[in-house]
């Protein structure tokens, strides 16, 4: 048996051992329990989600009257009017969500260029500086966007800015790592040629490295942007605004119809941007 095959079998064994240990840990604490009536609860939830609130705009619904115990009319609600106002808020929240993802990704993409250059192993970077850049990228990549969001809400306050910075910090780790790896696998012949004729470090990077990496770089940024759209839809749960805030409200008030409307919108949003970014990435290669 070849050494490579032995190594693969060893890695598979370690992976199986890790899965077994995780199952043992959770089963000992009852963490694998699905509750008393999982199928009944699932059926009930699916039934409540099967009627998205936006459907009320397509059918005539009677006015809802709310009366006191003695029959006194307290208020009258128009379901269609309320849904129209809700959908207007959803449209605004969707634009905020897209803005958070777009600006956060752009900031990360710009910051990732110098950090990626410093972190690349095959460039003549000052060793301590390289280790600092690699460490920073690892830290940013390791901390989840929601954790950054919670932290930043306490610093900059509630609102989209906390979401933008959370997206930017986490994406910096991802894009910086991808950019450094792309540099490590690219042909540095043009860069050395520019350097040999007296080009500065900035000129070497700008004209000898970046042009060959541009298609890969744009593709990576588009992929991370698409991923950040998904992340930004839940950042509202920590006070960063956007669709996540409406999701939190719908869950807190048990408004399953409105929750279904939001989930359909989020899925459609992600699918649309996935298709668009895939077309652009294919056009670049």
Q: Is the pLDDT of residue 267 over 80?
A: yes
- 45-55 pLDDT per residue, tens: 777 677 777 66
Percent of the chain having pLDDT more than 90? Answer: 11
CA 46 to chain CA centroid, Å, is 26
Query: Got the DSSP string for 184-205?
Result: HTS--HHHHHHHHTT--HHHII
- 12-62 pLDDT per residue, tens: 888 888 888 887 877 776 766 766 777 777 777 777 677 777 666 666 666
SS3 call for 50? coil
Beta-carbon neighbour count of residue 213 at 10 Å?
Answer: 18
- 88-138 pLDDT per residue, tens: 888 888 888 888 899 999 999 999 988 988 888 877 777 888 899 989 999
- 180-220 pLDDT per residue, tens: 888 887 766 666 677 676 766 666 766 766 777 777 888 88
What value does the mean pLDDT of the chain take?
A: 79
């Amino acid at each position: 048996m070849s050494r490579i095959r032995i190594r693969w079998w060893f890695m598979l064994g370690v992976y199986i051992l890790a899965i077994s240990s995780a199952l043992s840990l959770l089963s000992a604490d009852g963490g694998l329990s699905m509750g008393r009536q999982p199928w009944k609860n699932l059926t009930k939830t699916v039934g409540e989600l099967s009627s998205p609130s936006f459907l009320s705009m397509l059918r005539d619904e009677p006015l809802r009257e709310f009366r006191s115990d003695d029959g006194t009319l307290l208020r009258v609600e128009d379901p269609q009017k309320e849904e129209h106002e809700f959908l207007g808020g959803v449209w605004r929240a969707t634009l905020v969500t897209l803005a958070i993802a777009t600006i956060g990704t752009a900031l990360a993409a710009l910051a990732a260029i110098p950090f990626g250059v410093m972190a690349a192993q095959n460039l003549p970077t000052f060793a301590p500086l390289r280790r600092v850049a690699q460490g920073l990228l690892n830290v940013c990549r390791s901390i989840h966007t929601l954790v950054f969001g919670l932290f930043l809400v306490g610093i900059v306050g509630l609102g989209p800015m906390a979401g933008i910075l959370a997206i930017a910090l986490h994406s910096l780790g991802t894009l910086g790592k991808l950019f450094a790896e792309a540099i490590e696998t690219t042909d540095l012949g043009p860069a050395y040629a520019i350097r040999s004729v007296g080009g500065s470090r900035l000129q070497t990077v700008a004209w000898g490295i970046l042009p060959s990496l541009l298609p890969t770089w744009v593709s990576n940024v588009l992929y991370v942007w698409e991923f950040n759209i998904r992340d930004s839809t839940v950042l509202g749960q920590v006070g960063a605004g956007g669709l996540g805030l409406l999701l939190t409200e719908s869950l807190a008030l048990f408004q399953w119809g409105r929750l279904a409307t939001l989930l359909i919108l989020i899925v459609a949003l992600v699918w649309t941007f996935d298709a668009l970014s895939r077309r652009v990435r294919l056009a670049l290669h």
